[in-house]
Amino acid sequence: MGDNYSIGEILKGQKGDNNSDFVKKEAFKQVNLISELKPNEEVQVEGKVVSKRLQKTKSDRSFLLITLADKSQSIRAVDWYYPEENNNKIQVGEVIKLKGKTVFFENRIQINLINDEEAIEILNPLEVNPEKYMKSSQTELNTLINTLENYIVQVENLGVKALLTSIFIENDYIREMFLTSPAAMDIHHAYQNGLIEHSLKVTELSLKLYKTYSEEEVYINKDIIIAGALLHDIGKIEEYVITPSGIEKTEQGELMGHIPLGVKLIYEEAEKIGERISKEDLDHIIHIILSHHGEIEYGSPVVPKTLEAMIVNFSDNIDSKIARAKENIRNALQINENSTWSEYDKRLERKMKIEKYSD
Ligand SMILES: [Fe+2]
Ligand SMILES: [Fe+2]
């Protein structure tokens, strides 16, 4: 985010704001969210540092480029006065407040920091309101819950259905956590409700693959696919925690990761329903959880060895990558609605071309 602008563009932004003798003032306008910023205002704005880069102009003048973001939007801030000092002062991931003037050019707003050593203030994480940084799934939670319950209703195998009911309907703790957890820190679905949204998409895709490939000679078990897809990332409810400064890994998440955590949770729930679920079905579901990353080097202790496990693994891969690419495009459009390319994405190892509707 925020790294593909030319020096000329940034200089133009600076010229436009006419703030070289911008003096220290106390009355800076406070905005709640970055998306509320308007051009030509003296503001104090709060945001999380997404990136920072110390740069030099052709004439060897240093400046610091900062990308700040909250759940509404990201914005570029430029510091011409204390670039080295502020580069040392702030860290990526910290929430800061900065004072500056907003300027508008090339379809986007930029903030130019004022000439003040204390233009940037670092917030104590306890002062930060996590709501400001927590994106939620764009789909209504009730719609997500209905879809989840519809999948469980479709399951015919009574043992598998009992397991899913015990986990998603009867266990209030798991249900609540599954409905609110993110699916990642920053890879894909890194927002509240991200886990349920991702798990449902994986189920939807898995059932499409099931339909495409099921035929008489080779049996594919639809019920196991639904259970495996809904449960594949269930360990994430204990892998991540939402804190004032964003999504963090729990100690258990760090030490174990979501695959063993999920396996443990499923065995504990299976105990409750006893013999209602067959050992064979339970082993099959556990195999899907263990193998869903597809390869040993991606963290799975075994590779998928059943058609159902292969289907869930491929669906998981599709949804995480497509969701990541879409988020990347959405971020670029938020910064500049006329963007034709997204920023380079390290995970996807590419930038994405942004197509427009032609009407
Ligand atoms: Fe996973
Ligand atoms: Fe997943």
Under a CB-based contact definition with an 8 Å cutoff, are residues 220 and 208 in contact? no
Q: Average pLDDT of the chain? A: 88
How is residue 188 written in tokens? Answer: 């894909």
How many structural domains are present in the chain?
2
Measured CA to CA, the distance from residue 227 to residue 309 in angstroms comes to: 11
Other Cβ atoms within 10 Å of 262 Cβ, number: 24
Q: Are residues 112 and 42 in the same domain?
A: yes
Lowest-pLDDT choice from 87-96, 124-133, 151-160: 124-133
Which residue range forms the structural domain that includes residue 261?
134-325
Q: What's the pLDDT tens digit per position in 278-306?
A: 999 999 999 999 999 999 999 999 999 99
What CATH code is carried by the domain that includes residue 206?
1.10.3210
> How far does the centroid of ligand 1 lie from the alpha carbon of residue 241, in Å?
16
Tell whether 236 is covered by a domain: yes
> How far does the centroid of ligand 1 lie from the alpha carbon of residue 235, in Å?
8
Closest CA to 178 of 189, 260, 186, 281: 189
Rounded to an integer, the average pLDDT of 158-171 is 97
Q: Ligand 1 (ion): which residues have CB within 5 A?
A: 233
Higher pLDDT pick, 25 / 127: 127
Tell whether 359 is covered by a domain: no
- What's this model's pTM, rounded to 2 decimal places? 0.72
Q: Are residues 122 and 31 in the same domain?
A: yes
Return the percentage of the chain with pLDDT > 90, whole number.
62
Distances in whole angstroms, Cα of residue 342 to Cα of each of 72, 84, 136, 209? 18, 28, 22, 30
Model confidence at 187, pLDDT cuts 50, 70, 90, reads low
Q: Are residues 144 and 184 in the same domain?
A: yes
Higher pLDDT pick, 35 / 113: 113
- From the CA of 202, the nearest ligand is 2
Tell whether 233 is covered by a domain: yes
Q: Are residues 19 and 162 in the same domain?
A: no
pLDDT at res. 20: 44
Lowest-pLDDT choice from 221-230, 304-313, 332-341: 332-341
What CATH code is carried by the domain that includes residue 102?
2.40.50.140
> How far does the centroid of ligand 2 lie from the alpha carbon of residue 224, in Å?
16
